[in-house]
Structure 1
């Protein structure tokens, strides 16, 4: 079946793709910024963003839950290759859903070797999330990827583009190859990105690629080429990306160290404060004037969820702001309702603490972990059996025989060391993949009955909550967040 036979054009156009949003809703965690939240923000005319991390896994687990409202199958019915859809449904759809306590069926892990099933599931997962986010309105929708997860990037991006995504955002690395990837995939040409493989010789290149012609048969009309926003934390990176048309994005999100999720480590030698958190200094501040001089639109992020922050950003030449945590705690976010209620209560009574943990993430980047009384994030690694069964944050490395292997500092210590990793790199590491999935209600239950505890990431500035809770003591919606930020009803 061809794209022509299965048109998706009704999801392609935004109300006006030439109008830039003043507010970008951050792409948070795994499924926290899902299609429901992104759609709610996009309906206000601001940029709603879905997280593009592990959407293959989310689709597979939601199908195993039974797809009770039929939304997944409705989106899949609009995909241009129904043979691919049937294969995914046959493998993962469980009518009525799996029974409580039944482990989810696994999905193929990311790797350099071709795996048709993995590629198809990645394309479908990204298509579904963007399709549902764009359904029923003409507001702009974006998708947020981590540069660290290079192995999934071509297939994930193509799936999102097939659904008409308006923006692609990427951080946690140097996304220099994304403009060329978008150009190629928009014309259904082969696209690729470099994959960092530890131990490779100078000049030795590994790539993750996708050839749309091998994935979809038939003739294909060109796809909309989404705008690309590079998420940066240093002016020098923005200048580097801007210097060549081949690497130049369409704009920047300039993220400070207070933003949730991963953040760049401080420049220079890592210093920790008395609480064991990284100390940021003058060298880590981004000069808005330097960014503005590049002549591209930019948005400031990190502690910006107030109308005053928006006004300051615009006064500094920014197009607007990106806000994450304020949306993570709204009614439409993907966080489990019980987890969300606990976080809001702790934030209100002052017991919630968001720690910028320099060790928690297997990536080596500092990572914000929300802690409070009774928070599972406080459990020691000894209380959670070490296991890396999802592997989105694994690092490829070159084995002695020249083959590529994969290791994660959060896997069993003996396994990591056997693969050539340093034992000290395993200290304090958390399994973010499993913990973040549990926070949205899709955590794994092991065969022995062990259930993965939730792990939540938020930003370190919660000063927006007082006004929102005063106006909306029983919780607030994404539309009310936009109203709060713009200082007016949208």
Structure 2
């Protein structure tokens, strides 16, 4: 960040599972803006990088810097490449998240978030953020703590109402034991179900390090929610990202009765337009997001009172993003030919939120391809906790095998059109599971409606572009490299 700039002008979006890689975030931060890594399912992707042998050595280098060496070595050993894996799935199973977090997954989750932030912050004085989804509640506390151990500067969270995060950051930054209520379906009891995390218990005999309390930006789609969060007894966010429905990934549902277009996409109307003056009146910094991928739009956002913009799609398809390169280049080729299509699918995501999908051959963005996938739920990040008849907590996902979901009390109609985003998004990074029967998990790619405009970032005569090309366009050529 430059000396005369209080806040970053550009926030690089926290896209998908690992698309916002540490390489991307680091490049953005080294040029004076806020680079953001995705913390969603990062425990899983770290494990698979280790199982692949960590070819470039970066992961193992960061693991060696973890402040609790015994934990680091246990994780490293557990997920070391296995030469005797023949006849089994390519990647061995990683524990699925549950409220009663097992020690193995707890260590992996904290370490994974540490590694991603640590690598993003290496070798410069720029600022780095971690993006999490409020809807994916169970891993939240260990994810936050891992990022704090790596000196993260910002936490960003959307896809829900992250009302307790300011207080959680206050307490975790002081190494205090903490609890977080978890939403449980079919639970009519008055006692909340809590997820717990104890830094002292996690660290064991080690001295707890002093931690910095990062700033918290809530990603919202209405002034009503922003006002509610700013007045919370759990503390106010330090600012907001105002996300319009054209942004990629999960979108807020339309307000009022949901209507669909002729192509089956949700229709957004006047009630979905964000009341920017009302948010400006709250007196907190904010950034505009969704369709702000040009210099002119950055300036327009600033004229509205914003500090700047958050940009996702433009960075998602640059060379530094975590998307597998041949898939990325295939989509960029479709963009150049004018045939790339993005569809807002109201059914694809198990979360119930509309989810934007790129319709590209060989991926689950094609409905006919997605329907042929055998339903398997073996990653579990989007599972919903529910209360069983015997009072115990169970877990279900509308994208799991239909008979299993219905047997757990789920509604049959909720399974229609659902996609396994967990396996699909991990496959987008090139870490897709290869099953013992020879089948492979296919990618599912998300993007904002701005995908067709990424051609503006191509240098003359080039068929790919880099993060610096995006920054150059957004900032009108005024780059501020940091050491």
The answer to whether the superposition gives a TM-score over 0.5 is yes
Deviations 1:351-384 (A, max 9, x none): 1110000000000000000003554421344310
Work out whether 1:464 is the aligned partner of 2:424. no
2:200 to 203, 213, 235: 213
64-73 or 431-440: bigger deviation = 64-73
94-103 or 447-456: bigger deviation = 94-103
- Displacement of 1:67 in angstroms is 1.1
Work out whether 1:268 is the aligned partner of 2:260. no
1:391 to 374, 380, 383: 380
Deviations 1:46-77 (A, max 9, x none): 00000010111111100000012221111111
Please give the alpha-carbon distance, in whole angstroms, between the structure 2 residues aligned to 1:96 and 1:273.
51
Q: Which residue of 1 aligns with 2:144?
A: 157
For residue 431 of structure 2, give the secondary structure of its aligned residue in structure 1: coil
Deviations 1:218-250 (A, max 9, x none): 332420100000000111000000113523100
- Displacement of 1:298 in angstroms is 0.3
1:341 to 322, 326, 329: 329
1:196 to 180, 183, 199: 183
- Displacement of 1:90 in angstroms is 1.3
For residue 461 of structure 1, give the secondary structure of its aligned residue in structure 2: helix
Work out whether 1:178 is the aligned partner of 2:161. no
- Displacement of 1:108 in angstroms is 0.9
Please give the alpha-carbon distance, in whole angstroms, between the structure 2 residues aligned to 1:267 and 1:234.
10
Q: Which residue of 1 aligns with 2:472?
A: 483
Please give the alpha-carbon distance, in whole angstroms, between the structure 1 residues aligned to 2:136 and 2:39.
10
Runs of 5+ consecutive residues of structure 2 not aligned to the other structure: none
Q: Which residue of 1 aligns with 2:98?
A: 111
User: How high is the TM-score relative to the length of structure 1?
Assistant: 0.94
14-23 or 344-353: bigger deviation = 14-23
Please give the alpha-carbon distance, in whole angstroms, between the structure 1 residues aligned to 2:5 and 2:459.
36
Runs of 5+ consecutive residues of structure 1 not aligned to the other structure: 1-13
Please give the alpha-carbon distance, in whole angstroms, between the structure 1 residues aligned to 2:257 and 2:461.
44
Q: Is the 8 A contact 2:364 2:370 kept in 1?
A: no
| Residues 298-377 of structure 1 aligned to structure 2 (within 5 Å) | 298-377=286-365
Q: Is the 8 A contact 1:66 1:95 kept in 2?
A: no
Please give the alpha-carbon distance, in whole angstroms, between the structure 2 residues aligned to 1:485 and 1:101.
47
2:270 to 256, 264, 282: 282
In the comparison of the two structures, how many residue pairs are matched?
A: 477
Distance 1:374-1:121 versus aligned 2 partners, 3 A rule: closer
Please give the alpha-carbon distance, in whole angstroms, between the structure 1 residues aligned to 2:28 and 2:216.
19
Please give the alpha-carbon distance, in whole angstroms, between the structure 1 residues aligned to 2:111 and 2:4.
25
Q: Is the 8 A contact 2:137 2:182 kept in 1?
A: yes
Q: Is the 8 A contact 2:362 2:369 kept in 1?
A: no
Please give the alpha-carbon distance, in whole angstroms, between the structure 1 residues aligned to 2:374 and 2:451.
32
Q: Is the 8 A contact 1:381 1:429 kept in 2?
A: no
- Displacement of 1:98 in angstroms is 7.2
Q: Is the 8 A contact 1:17 1:140 kept in 2?
A: no
1:87 to 74, 91, 97: 74
Q: Which residue of 2 aligns with 1:250?
A: 238
Distance 1:146-1:472 versus aligned 2 partners, 3 A rule: farther
Please give the alpha-carbon distance, in whole angstroms, between the structure 2 residues aligned to 1:139 and 1:249.
21
For residue 237 of structure 1, give the secondary structure of its aligned residue in structure 2: helix
2:135 to 145, 148, 151: 148
Q: Is the 8 A contact 2:200 2:208 kept in 1?
A: no
Q: Which residue of 2 aligns with 1:9?
A: none
C-alpha root-mean-square deviation of aligned residues, in Å?
1.8
Please give the alpha-carbon distance, in whole angstroms, between the structure 1 residues aligned to 2:82 and 2:186.
46
Please give the alpha-carbon distance, in whole angstroms, between the structure 2 residues aligned to 1:108 and 1:219.
28
| Residues 115-154 of structure 1 aligned to structure 2 (within 5 Å) | 115-154=102-141
1:30 to 10, 14, 17: 17
